[in-house]
Structure 1
């Protein structure tokens, strides 16, 4: 991988404007912070404040990988999700294993920053340079397992990796997690942040 484990890009999705953009991962961030959790925290600090409503469109969902993600190093497939927590009202993060993080990295992105809020349920599909916001009206209300299967069928790709929320996240339950396969980013109620943005799922394949 380029840059000693970094792909060098942040993918940003604004669900309010439906704008999708990329920006470089700065040398300063790479030098000052090691791995996803540190950079996630700095991005959240820079982009939110004390008045930010955890369930408002100005909150962020930040998904971060590390320089070792996508390698054969044991446990290196883990990723961190960071947002202002609806459970505590302050910085919150959750960590999970699974194959989602390597696929995000193989698609060319070290970090995914989601902001704004959609008017209707949506999900993201990330496949290399193709990033799409898709209608999720037909999977809103489904379980995470059902969502995983439906998105794999819709994309025609059984190997695509899916992060999703269930009914707890949709209903803004403040202990809702984010599920990928048999793994879950369970801390801080970050599934409710996805639900507040009407974001049902994120699928990635690189």
Structure 2
């Protein structure tokens, strides 16, 4: 099984900065998988009183230790943020080949882009 990397890319859309940071092994064991890591980061880094549509909200794309393996549901990843619907931490789960690439380092997106984007 490929090693579960305890690293994260922090992408600041306003400045274009990309920084690699380390997630302690203790956290990856305690908050297993993309959902757990995403919830923990949001809990620690997002003020509960902010507007969910504010640029201060964070969007986290994360995968778990079985992502990218032959395990059943091994092609899944989690997207976490503060929900505009409920105002609480929420997550959405999706799958596909991209999950295996995401597994190498969760992505945390901060601030809003200065340029409009299109799909």
TM over 0.5: yes
1:105-144 to structure 2, matched below 5 A, reads 105=103, 108-109=104-105, 111-121=106-116, 136=117, 140=118
- Give 2:99's aligned residue: 101
- Give 2:84's aligned residue: 86
SS at match of 2:36: helix
Q: How far apart, in 1, do the equivalents of 2:67 and 2:23 lie?
A: 16
- Give 2:71's aligned residue: 73
1:132-171 to structure 2, matched below 5 A, reads 136=117, 140=118, 147=119
Alpha carbon RMSD of aligned pairs, Å?
A: 1.2
Unaligned runs of 5+ in 2: none
Higher-RCO chain (CA-CA 8 Å, sequence separation at least 6): 2
Q: How far apart, in 1, do the equivalents of 2:24 and 2:62 lie?
A: 14
Number of aligned residues? 118
- Give 1:60's aligned residue: 58
- Give 2:45's aligned residue: 47
- Give 1:15's aligned residue: 13
Kept after mapping to 1: 8 A contact 2:6/2:28: no
- Tell me the alpha carbon deviations over residues 85-105 of structure 1, each in whole angstroms, 9 at most, x when there is no partner: 011111111111222111222
SS at match of 2:26: helix
SS at match of 1:29: helix
- Normalised by the size of structure 1, how large is the TM-score? 0.55
- Normalised by the size of structure 2, how large is the TM-score? 0.92
Specify the structure having the higher radius of gyration (Cα): 1
Q: How far apart, in 1, do the equivalents of 2:60 and 2:50 lie?
A: 15
Q: How far apart, in 2, do the equivalents of 1:89 and 1:33 lie?
A: 22
Q: How far apart, in 1, do the equivalents of 2:83 and 2:97 lie?
A: 25
SS at match of 1:82: strand
Unaligned runs of 5+ in 1: 122-135, 141-146, 148-206
